[in-house]
Every structure is written in structure tokens, then in C-alpha cells.
Structure 1
Amino acid sequence: MRDTAAGPRLLLRRLRELMAEALEPQDRLDRIVHHIAQNMVAEVCSLYVLRADSILELYATEGLNPSAVHQAQLRLGQGLVGTIAASARPLNLSEAQKHPAFAYLPETGEEIYNSFLGVPVLRAGRTLGVLVVQNKTMRQYREDEIEALETTAMVIAEMIASGDLARLTRTGLELDVSRPVTVRGMPFNEGVGLGHVVLHEPRIVVTNLFNEDSEQEVARLEHALGSLRLSIDDMLERREVAFEGEHREVLEAYRMFANDRGWVRRLEEAINNGLTAEAAVEKVQSDMRARMMHMSDPYLRERMSDFEDLANRLLRMLMGRGPEDIASVLPRDAIIVARSMGAAELLDYPRDKLRGLVIEEGAITSHVVIVARAMGIPVAGQMKGAVSMSENGDPIIVDGEDGVMHLRPQSDVEAAYAEKVRFRARKQEMYRELRDKPSVTKDGVSVDLMMNAGLVVDIPQLADSGAAGIGLFRTELQFMVAATFPRAEAQQKLYRDVLEAAGGKPVTFRTIDIGGDKVLPYFDSNVQEENPALGWRAIRLTLDRPGLLRTQVRALLKAAGGRELRMMLPMVTEISEIRQARAIIDKEVRHLARFAHHLPNTLKLGVMIEVPSLLWQLEEVMDTVDFVSVGSNDLFQFVTATDRGSTQLAGRFNPISAHFLRLLRHITRTSEQTGTPATLCGELAGRPLSAMALLGVGFRSISMAPAAIGPVKAMLTELPLEKLTGVMNETLDGKSAETDIVALLTAFAAEHDIPL
């Protein structure tokens, strides 16, 4: 019986020898197609490479007219070759000329050939070219022959990606793998970053492609698969994984993939054709990725994400590697490219090397975006395909103002953005000149412009930005960046450093807001929730675990000795929660007083208005506390029933709308009636246009990212606030909820020469 695997193994062995020889790129390609044709008993073997202009160019052939090399061309989608490239699927035809996509190229002389087998040249799911074999006799190529050609195509893909073929490209043309790419998404944080790509979850580059012993490689694969299955079973058995819910469904999907015989069979076939175990995983993963990229079903695409994670785990096991420590080898101008990431993951990267962030998913109110904004990093989001199109080290520009990514930009684009950066620097200089000027409107109304913070690195920006104080200090960020719960002494030191750096300016500390999407890896809650944003988080969690709150309150009281201490409770739903928290605070005050600790001169307690139920208790709430602060991110999320992290809903509802502004005006009017100060510390405060709307509905204190204070102050000093308030009240008192508030404010700004 014929050993069907012997042919592919011999071919790969010969290819390995060719790759090791010192040959010119064209000579190497010519020999590769010759050996493929010889091995597969084909009369023709041709390689087409995809150029940046979406043209497939014939780069090498055995059997067709040699003069057609670098002359024969097909558009993406044209002919059989173009169809394969566009679909990322092989074509196996016994009578090629009868296929509706067949296109005859006279210069090649291929009309005499009937049978046709073409496979895409794939790398990381991207099509880089097409590899074809042909015969005069009418026949269907066997499965093992298709597998052999796909395996060979994988080797050629590495040649193309490495840049070996760049010298063969005619002047003025580029290969697709190196072409400039522009992706348009959404602006998540303003600024421009020029630098080089750092993939947040870098693809594992397989360098050892050819095996010496197939049986040994199959054994390695089986051992790694066994370890992978055990690790998934272990995750499913842990106490922190609930017996129901989405997390368990994902892990069950992982287990299904890990035990899928079809997947394992394809891996074993690739090994028997001459690949190493890791190269087999890369090949099968790339084949599946290319097919799934053309599917529109969101469920199937989500399952592809599960499969990719599983395949990457298997690759790491085979290559004996743990999680990548990218931060230690970052370039000095790193721009992180990620599908999605958490706030704590961004904080793992050294700030001094970050120039920008590109994410495929998320929304402007996602916590990673909020942290990036606090760090002053430009962010562009909803950048579909950014990860698959990028390679580590690629030049990249991220424009956080327009929500655009330029990958491998042309020199004129790079020059234009360099000028844009210089222009921004001149604007920042103008904002610095405003830093020490009072925040007073054109008609003499004083407004406090505060900044949001959460880390020690934020504190120098208090003086640099000219902020009137810190309107929101997110204490949970210290917990999110720590490997274990910060001890009371560490918390106390941070809070004291912040108060000393503030130099007498007010600082409002929000008590720890963990839970929901702010997961601490060392905090085992034993709770899996369908809707974590609405679940056990913030004040709900700390009242149930009072030890957490007591430790933090004690650290705050000690740190603020001799000063004013402003504490704010997050996610309050009813007044009883305020009373419970106040009882804990009062108890800590009595305890410290008993031991003669230096206590704050004054203690002011406030609450976040972010749960809609408080809107029907406003007067009682304001009579109970010393101040309130609107968390517009969560309040808008809950009022509109909109997941702040949802890609599909990110731009659907506008917070600068009549119904939401009426709600905010109700809060400021109640604040005036009760004499309880009200501020707003969400993302709405951070853009001149939306800040203008907030001032128009009555806010006289707003808190934002430090970088936003300059642009907002420039708007503020030119604003006739009394006139704007009249326009806003007239509009909001009208019956139509369809009024375009953004257009109204933009026209008002243009009429009064207000910079936005």
C-alpha cells in the first residue's frame, strides 16, 4: 500500500534544504515550485503573491510560460486564483475551464491544463498569495495532496512575511504584507501617538517548522493536549467557577475544542506531512482563522476567539513558554494594539514608554479607556481587524482625536502627523499659559475645574494642569495594580502623599469600588454574575465585607491628620447604605481618638449619584450628606440600560441629549435648594462641548482627566454663561426630546467665538 505521507515529508525535507541554502530570492522560488511539481507529479506549479494594490502577481512557475513571471496578474476575486485569495479556501477542480470563475491569461499558456488545485498562502489568517498545481489529465486531487500543498504554502508564507521577496517587487509596488493600512474606528481619548506596534497578546512565532521524527512529534502533541485538557478540567473544578453562567460556558467550549477529534486529526495529519507539533498547531489555527474571518455570525466569531485562545495555550505548552513579559522589552515609543484589555493590564506597562493604545472592542467609558485618559495616552477604539493586520514592531500612528489608526504609514502621512504633534504641542503651551488664570466665565461666574486621579503618577499633573483640586481620587486603582491586598500602612502612605502633594487643595477620596468589571486577581469572591455591573460591587461589597472598608477608612483618617478629609461612597442605592457606612466611619473615629491619633480637622462625607433610584430620594440624600458627585458614566449606563463596554451600543445613545440633561438639571436645582454642593466627575466633563452643556444646566464644579482642563478652561473663559443658561432652559423646558443639543451648542459656540 502506498505511503501517502512519504511524498509530503520528502518535499518538506527538500524545502528545508532550499531554505538553508544561500540563494537569491527568485532562484529559491523557482526551485521551490520545481520541487513541488516534481513531488506531486504535476505538470504545472505556480505561485501568485498578493500586492498592496490587491493584485495577485505571478512570482514563479514550473510549466507555464516563464516570460509570464512578474507579468501575469489577476485582481483579488478575479479568476480561480483571485477567488481562492478572496475566500481563503482551496479549490480542487477536475475541469478548471468549466468553473464560472475561470479567467484565461494568454501570456501563461495554461489553456491546455484541465485539473487544478489551488490553496491560499496564509499567515495569521491573512491571505498573502495563492499556490497552484495543474495537470492536463482530468482528475480530483486527493486529501493528502491538498494537505501537502497547504503545508508547503505555510512555509512560503513565512518567506513572504520575512520580507525576502521585497527585492523582486517592481518599483512603486509593494507586497500586501507590507502595505500601509488605515483603519477608522472611534475616538476614545484625544492625542496623537507615533511609534511601533506592541501586540498586547502577541502571536507566538513558530520558527521550527520541519520535523525529524513524526512519531515523536505526535507524542509531544498528545502530551501537550493531555496537559491542556487537565488544566481546563482543573479550572472547571475550582470553587470560583460557578456551576452555571457565561464563564462556565466559555470553559465548557474550551473543553469541547480540546477534545474535538476533528481538530486533533488535522493536527496529526499536518505532523505526518512533515511539520513539527507547534507548526501543525499554527497551520490548523491559521486555516480556521481565515475561514472564520469571512463569517458574519457573531456567535461563530466569538467561538473563534475561544479557539484562538485555546490554540495559543497549546502552542505555549509545546514551546515551554509561560505568559509573555512584554513590558520588559518595550520599545521607547510603544503603541499597544489589543482586541480588549482590562485597566490593570494597561497599568502593567511602564508609562514612560507608552505613546498610544488601539483596541478593537470597548467603549469610551470602558475602564481601560478611563485609565488611559488619566495617563494622558491617546486611544482609538472599535478598530476592527487591527490585531490581525499588525505585527510587533510595525510603524504605527494612532489618532485619538479622529479615531484613526495608520499602520505602516507612508512618509507623507508620517510627516503630516509629525506636524500635527507639533501643533498640539503649541496648543498645550497656550493651555499652560491659562493654567494660573482664574476659571471664570466671560460674564464673571466662577467654576471649579477639578481633576480625576487614582495613582501617585497622576499627582504632578495637579500643578501642571492648574486644577482647583482632585474631584475624584479612585482608590481602587492602588488595589488593581497590586499583587496582593495593599496593607493599611501602604494605603495610609499613598493617601498622605496625595494630600501633601495637593498642597491644601481639596481632594475627594472615593472609597474602594471593586467588583463588576474591576476584578482583583487575589480577591476570591466565589460569585459569578450574569450582570456584574449591576451586582455585588462598590459599597454593596464593602458593607458585606466591612473589614475592607474599616481598614481603608482608618488609613484615610490617619493620613488626613490635621487636614480636611473628603470621603465619597460609590454605587449607593438607598439612604440606609449611607447610614451603615457612616456608622463604620464614626466607630473608626472613636477608636483612633481613644488612642490619641491625630485626626482630620473636618470630615466631609459624600455620595456618588450613579444609581437611578437616588433620583427619587434626592432631597433626603442631600440632607444626609455633605456633598454629592454625579458619576455620569454609570448613571447614563443605568438610565439608558446600555452596557458601557458594548461595542454594538457604544455610539448609539448620546449623553448630551435633552432627556439626560433634564435629569442632570434636576440634580443641580435640588443641590441649590438644599445647599448641598454638587459636582460631576464622569467623562462628560472632559470635552469642551459637553462641559459647556453641564455648565448650562447648573454645575459649577466639574472633574475631568488632567489633560482636559486646558481645553475646557479655554472654552470657559470665553463663555457668556448667563446667556447659555437661558438658551438651555428654554430648550429643555420645551416638549420635544428630539432637539439636537449638540447642534444647538455648536451653533452657540460659533456665534460667540467660543473655542471647542
Structure 2
Amino acid sequence: MGQQTDILLKGIAASPGIAIGKVLIIGSETLEVEKKTLKTSDIDAEIEKFDSALAQSISDLEKMFDKTRASYGENAAQIFNVHKYILQDPMVVDKAKKKIRAEKVNADWAFSEIMNNYISKLKGMQDERFHTRTTDIQDLKRRVTRYIQGGSQQHLTKLTQPSIVFATELTPSDTIRLEKANVLGFAMDFGARTSHATILARSIGVPAVVGLNRAGQLIKEGDNMILDGDQGLCIINPSTKSLSRYKKRYDEYISLERQLHSIKNLPARTKDGKDIELASNMEFPEEVDHICELHGDGIGLFRTEYLYLAGSTNPTEEQQYQDYKHILEKLAGKPLIIRTFDLGGDKPPASLSLSREDNPFLGVRGVRLYRNSGEDLFRTQIRAILRASALGDIRIMFPMIACVSELRECKAALYKIQKELDKEGVPYNKSIPVGIMIEVPSAAAIADLMAQECDFLSIGTNDLIQYTIAVDRGNKNLAYLYQSYNPAVLRFVQQIIYQGHQQGTWVGMCGEMASDPLMTMVLIGMGLDEFSVSPVSHLLIKEIIRHVEYHECESMAKKALDFSTAADVEKYLTDIYQKKFKRLLHL
């Protein structure tokens, strides 16, 4: 008998960890929707059927909100409030009814067409976060369509024993109906790091691998599987050799995880007593409970683009205010840095008609949108932020600032809105800190001038690398150039920190570089005041901070800046990390 051969699939590492177990498959549901022509006398009854389906769906969502809040916390449940908001959105409901009446068509077809159009728009955007929202829309479309057609909601296979859950894609409704105590991990053909299932995986601490593409053709119910959420690997029916190797890794991983969790309540302080602020980046409000459990220094970057994914209309001032208020209550006095929306170009809000651009990353995005068709959106968001600032430590951060004049325009708009609130007698923090994300080379080159104009700087390395090296970070053919260890990038980072400090301005970093353990000592040595990292990297970065001395970090930073290639820098940092933190290599 021949030796068993592993079936190895490569996907996207979406949530860290290792899981070994049997597979439970959740099948995707296909609903047939056929266009039918109605008699005029049948239209009112069809509208009633549509209203009834909406009411039943909203009732389901309210129940799922309650169930999710009880099992996972209120923030994880917020996705169902977003779904409810979509089904109550006049732009969706009224449009569907108008289509039924005007075209004399069946409700399920009219509603599906509207939702399909919305899905197409989201898929046409380059930003991954928008792509993942298509799963939410599909979930809602299926739910309402099922009720229109007189069916009931699909029941998932009962998860009665610990299993690795596989699906082509997992909707929020799917994930919430699983017994979380028996979920070892998630594997999906589709999905992304920002999908609801992967956010949930990270919040409950199980691995997830997405983007496997063809796994559904190979996996059978009950198959044995190894899920490697660190490397983005899925091994189907692994060999004895692979099982032995991964069981050893799993034991080491669990041991290290326990060690890291033991430092949650300890400060991010070097061995020689230098305190480093360690905050978290946040994509969606449902992540805040997990972030609070890390006992860090608040949220150093709250990306607010999610606000514009919920429906075809823009979020109101009150909706935004309530979101910010809820997050502040959870943070209990710790800072919340809100980045005003970075939309436009490849990710325009559905409510704005923006012309298509040949190069959206160099087009109308971020603050450039604020002075054009996005002016009202900006005003609404700033009003909500200012109102919430009366309740806690909120700080405003403007994205994509390229020159001092843009920063001054944003500050002038902020001042004007403050005067409005003063007239209305609305309380807010009159000394609210204002900063910018340094992610454009022109801003990095004049960091001293920028620092004179604001309260803090935060380095956004993702775009800074892209713009400095003139490379599309999403282009796989140019991946070899997109290097955070590029000497030009490192010199920019050092310059920003130095010039910021020369002006007495606090400097943080919220890009992926801050989450890179190889760079931790270098950034400490450069004098970085704050690391805002991915929540999954938080404890690892804290562990490194607590086992180094500031003077050795300074020496390491100086040495790293002497190299002439990214490869040389990476080799130097890797060698030191392997020697100093060998026990952490499994994370």
C-alpha cells in the first residue's frame, strides 16, 4: 500500500491558529427566481406579499440580534441591525414596490434585481472590504425571497461535536446559528479577512482560512482536516507524518498562547522602563469587545468606511453618533481615534455619482472628496464625531492629506461646524485633538510643517509604501517591490518621527508595519510613541516590547537604516528575531 499523500490547498490566512478535526459542510442554498408578468388586479396582493416578507425578515433579524448578543456580545450582533436598516431603507423598499407596479412583475424578481444591482456595484470596487459586504446582501436577498415564495428559513446541519466548518461562503445568518463551543475553525472557498465570518473567528479565537477557491470540489463531509490559519493552508485527509508535525505545532502554539494571555493586564513597557502606547486598529464596531479584552491603550485607528456599506442611502448623523457613543462606552475612557471616511475613486459611496477614474488611487479619494460631492457627508460625520466627543476621548484623523493647505481646509471646515454646534447649544469637546494620517510622500517630506498644524501624526504605511515605491500593492506581479523593509520607506518613517518630535508632536503608526514583529524593535528605536496594530498581533507585539531594552532598539534602528536593499534589511531583522525570540516563531 502506497504512502498517503496530503491534499494541500492554499488560501488566505484570515484568523490565526491551528485546528485539527473533522469537517462539517454547510451547503449553499440556491433559490430560483423567475420573472412573471402580473395582471393589474394582482399587483396590490403582490405588494402585500412583499411587505409581509419584509416584516418576517425583520422579525428574524431582531431575534438573531438578541441571540448573537447573548452568545458573542452586542458588537458582534450589530451586523443584524445593519441588515435590518437595509430592509427599512426607502431606497430599497420603495424602489422594489415601484418596480412591481411599473413593470407589473413579481415581488421576488423585482427585489432580487435591485439587490443584484447593488451586489454588482460592490463587486466592482477594488477595496476588499466592499467585496465582503456582497455576502451580507446575498444573505438578505435569499431571506426575503424565501418568504415571498412562501418558504421557511433554511435550517443548518446541527453542529453536535467539535468540527471544522467548511462552506463555499458563510453568511452572518449561517455563522450565528452555529454552536460556537463546537467550532474548531472556518474554511471557505470565498470570503476575505474582513468578512463577518472571519471577524467572528478572530473574536472567538479560532483559525480561519478563506479564498480556497476549489476546496468544495475536494472536501467531503467527515473528512479529516488540518487548518493552518497562520499560513493560510488547508490539508485534507493529512498523512500520519503531517498530523504528527501539526499536533506538535498545535501543542507549542497553545502553550505560547497561554503565555501571551498571561500578559494581557501588564503594561507595554520595555525592560528598562520605557512605556510604549499599544492600541488596536478596528474595521467594524463588532470588534470592540475583543479589543477591550486585550487591555490595550484604546483604538488607534477606527476605519469608518463601513458606515457607507450598510445601504443605498448614507448614514445619518444620529446613526453615526450612536455607533461612536457605543464604542466609547466600551472603551471606558481610553482613546478612540476616528479616521474620517476614506472613500472615493475605487470605493465610491452608493449614494454619490462619481465619474470612473483611470487611476483611482491617485484620484478623488479621502479628503479630496470632502471638497467636492462628499462635502455633505463630511459635515454629517464631523457633527456626529463632535457630539460624541462630549462623552469620551475621541480624536479626529484626516486621511490622504498631501499638503498643508488641505489640512487647513479640513480644520476650517471643522471650526465652522463647531460654531454651528455652539449656536445650537450642543456640547462637545472644544479641545478635541486633530491629527492626520501620513501616507503620502509629499506629506512625509514636510512632516515638520504638518506637525506644526495638528496635535498628532499617525503613519499609514500601507499607502506610504505604495506611493513611495510607485507600485500597486494589489498587483501580484509587483509584489516583490512592495516591501516595508525598503530603505526609502524606513528613512521616511524615521524622518516623520524625528520631525514630529522636533515640533513636540506625538507620532503613532497604524499601518501593517506596526503589526510586523520584525519591525517592533526598529520602530521603538526610532522613537515611535504608539503602535496601533491588528488585534490578532496585539499580545505578540506586547511580548516583544516587554523583552527588549530601549538602548538596544536604538542601536538596531541605526543599523537597519544603513542597509541599501530591502532584502538586506529583512535578513538582518530576521536573524535577530530568530536569535532573540526563538520561542515566538510558532506564532
TM-score (norm 1): 0.54
Within 5 Å, which residues of 2 pair with 1:318-717?
329=156, 335=165, 350=175, 355-357=185-187, 378-380=207-209, 385-386=214-215, 388-390=217-219, 396-409=225-238, 417=246, 420-421=249-250, 423-482=252-311, 484-518=313-347, 520=349, 522-544=350-372, 545-561=374-390, 563-600=392-429, 602-650=431-479, 653-717=482-546
Query: In the alignment, residue 190 of structure 1 is paired with which amino acid?
Result: P
Identity of aligned residues (%): 26
Aligned counterpart, 1:83 = none
- Distance (Å, rounded) in 1 between the aligned partners of 2:154 and 2:449: 49
Within 5 Å, which residues of 2 pair with 1:68-217?
181-184=7-10, 187=13, 189-193=15-19, 196=23
- Distance (Å, rounded) in 2 between the aligned partners of 1:435 and 1:466: 6
In structure 2, do the counterparts of structure 1 residues 644 and 408 end up closer, same or farther at CA, with 3 Å as the change threshold?
farther
Maintained 8 Å contact 1:199/1:387: no
Query: In the alignment, residue 565 of structure 1 is paired with which amino acid?
Result: I
Residue 580 of structure 1: CA displacement? 2.0
Aligned counterpart, 2:128 = none
- Distance (Å, rounded) in 1 between the aligned partners of 2:351 and 2:158: 33
- Distance (Å, rounded) in 2 between the aligned partners of 1:614 and 1:373: 37
Query: In the alignment, residue 598 of structure 1 is paired with which amino acid?
Result: P
In structure 2, do the counterparts of structure 1 residues 196 and 321 end up closer, same or farther at CA, with 3 Å as the change threshold?
farther
- Distance (Å, rounded) in 2 between the aligned partners of 1:369 and 1:683: 22
Residue 553 of structure 1: CA displacement? 1.0
Residue 397 of structure 1: CA displacement? 3.5
Maintained 8 Å contact 2:23/2:165: yes
Within 5 Å, which residues of 2 pair with 1:298-317?
none
Maintained 8 Å contact 2:199/2:287: no
- Distance (Å, rounded) in 2 between the aligned partners of 1:570 and 1:327: 43
**Secondary structure in 2 aligned to 1:459?**
helix
- Distance (Å, rounded) in 2 between the aligned partners of 1:632 and 1:369: 27
Q: Could you tell me which of 717, 727, 730 is aligned with 2:556?
A: 727
In structure 2, do the counterparts of structure 1 residues 322 and 693 end up closer, same or farther at CA, with 3 Å as the change threshold?
farther
- Distance (Å, rounded) in 2 between the aligned partners of 1:728 and 1:687: 15
In structure 2, do the counterparts of structure 1 residues 649 and 361 end up closer, same or farther at CA, with 3 Å as the change threshold?
farther
Gaps of 5+ in 1: 1-51, 54-171, 174-178, 207-229, 249-315
Residue 548 of structure 1: CA displacement? 0.6
- Distance (Å, rounded) in 2 between the aligned partners of 1:461 and 1:398: 22
Within 5 Å, which residues of 2 pair with 1:225-236?
none
In structure 2, do the counterparts of structure 1 residues 686 and 753 end up closer, same or farther at CA, with 3 Å as the change threshold?
closer
**Secondary structure in 2 aligned to 1:472?**
strand
Question: Which deviations, in whole Å up to 9, do the C-alpha atoms of 1:690-738 show, x marking residues without a partner?
Answer: 323322333131111222111111111111231232132134135x335
Query: In the alignment, residue 192 of structure 1 is paired with which amino acid?
Result: I
TM-score (norm 2): 0.68
Aligned counterpart, 2:48 = none
Q: Could you tell me which of 570, 573, 580 is aligned with 1:745?
A: 573
Question: Which deviations, in whole Å up to 9, do the C-alpha atoms of 1:522-578 show, x marking residues without a partner?
Answer: 434343233333333222223322111111111111122153330111122222222
Deviates more, 1:716-725 or 1:350-359: 350-359
**Secondary structure in 2 aligned to 1:733?**
coil
Residue 649 of structure 1: CA displacement? 3.9
Maintained 8 Å contact 1:334/1:356: yes
Residue 407 of structure 1: CA displacement? 2.7
- Distance (Å, rounded) in 2 between the aligned partners of 1:754 and 1:706: 22
Maintained 8 Å contact 1:182/1:406: yes
**Secondary structure in 1 aligned to 2:301?**
strand
- Distance (Å, rounded) in 2 between the aligned partners of 1:527 and 1:727: 48
In structure 2, do the counterparts of structure 1 residues 239 and 198 end up closer, same or farther at CA, with 3 Å as the change threshold?
closer
**Secondary structure in 1 aligned to 2:458?**
strand
- Distance (Å, rounded) in 1 between the aligned partners of 2:386 and 2:377: 14
Residue 603 of structure 1: CA displacement? 0.5
**Secondary structure in 1 aligned to 2:302?**
strand
Query: In the alignment, residue 535 of structure 1 is paired with which amino acid?
Result: G
In structure 2, do the counterparts of structure 1 residues 572 and 359 end up closer, same or farther at CA, with 3 Å as the change threshold?
farther
Aligned counterpart, 1:36 = none
In structure 2, do the counterparts of structure 1 residues 529 and 359 end up closer, same or farther at CA, with 3 Å as the change threshold?
farther
Gaps of 5+ in 2: 33-108, 126-141
> Which structure ranks higher in relative contact order (CA pairs < 8 Å, sequence separation ≥ 6)?
2
- Distance (Å, rounded) in 2 between the aligned partners of 1:645 and 1:367: 18
Maintained 8 Å contact 1:357/1:377: no
CA RMSD of aligned residues (A): 4.4
Within 5 Å, which residues of 2 pair with 1:13-32?
none
Residue 518 of structure 1: CA displacement? 4.1
Within 5 Å, which residues of 2 pair with 1:258-337?
329=156, 335=165
- Distance (Å, rounded) in 2 between the aligned partners of 1:183 and 1:239: 32
- Distance (Å, rounded) in 1 between the aligned partners of 2:351 and 2:164: 31
Aligned counterpart, 1:65 = none
Aligned counterpart, 1:167 = none
In structure 2, do the counterparts of structure 1 residues 560 and 751 end up closer, same or farther at CA, with 3 Å as the change threshold?
same
- Distance (Å, rounded) in 1 between the aligned partners of 2:118 and 2:307: 26
Maintained 8 Å contact 2:522/2:560: no
Aligned counterpart, 1:21 = none
Maintained 8 Å contact 1:448/1:701: yes
Query: In the alignment, residue 430 of structure 1 is paired with which amino acid?
Result: Q
- Distance (Å, rounded) in 2 between the aligned partners of 1:518 and 1:331: 38
In structure 2, do the counterparts of structure 1 residues 331 and 526 end up closer, same or farther at CA, with 3 Å as the change threshold?
farther
Residue 455 of structure 1: CA displacement? 2.7
Question: Which deviations, in whole Å up to 9, do the C-alpha atoms of 1:88-141 show, x marking residues without a partner?
Answer: xxxxxxxxxxxxxxxxxxxxxxxxxxxxxxxxxxxxxxxxxxxxxxxxxxxxxx
In structure 2, do the counterparts of structure 1 residues 601 and 585 end up closer, same or farther at CA, with 3 Å as the change threshold?
closer
Residue 437 of structure 1: CA displacement? 1.3
**Secondary structure in 2 aligned to 1:598?**
coil
Maintained 8 Å contact 1:573/1:611: yes
**Secondary structure in 2 aligned to 1:602?**
coil
- Distance (Å, rounded) in 2 between the aligned partners of 1:680 and 1:670: 15
Residue 240 of structure 1: CA displacement? 13
In structure 2, do the counterparts of structure 1 residues 730 and 552 end up closer, same or farther at CA, with 3 Å as the change threshold?
same
- Distance (Å, rounded) in 1 between the aligned partners of 2:247 and 2:153: 27
In structure 2, do the counterparts of structure 1 residues 372 and 729 end up closer, same or farther at CA, with 3 Å as the change threshold?
farther
Maintained 8 Å contact 1:633/1:683: yes
Residue 681 of structure 1: CA displacement? 0.7
- Distance (Å, rounded) in 2 between the aligned partners of 1:537 and 1:584: 17
Question: Which deviations, in whole Å up to 9, do the C-alpha atoms of 1:457-513 show, x marking residues without a partner?
Answer: 222223311211110111222332456432222211110111121111111011122
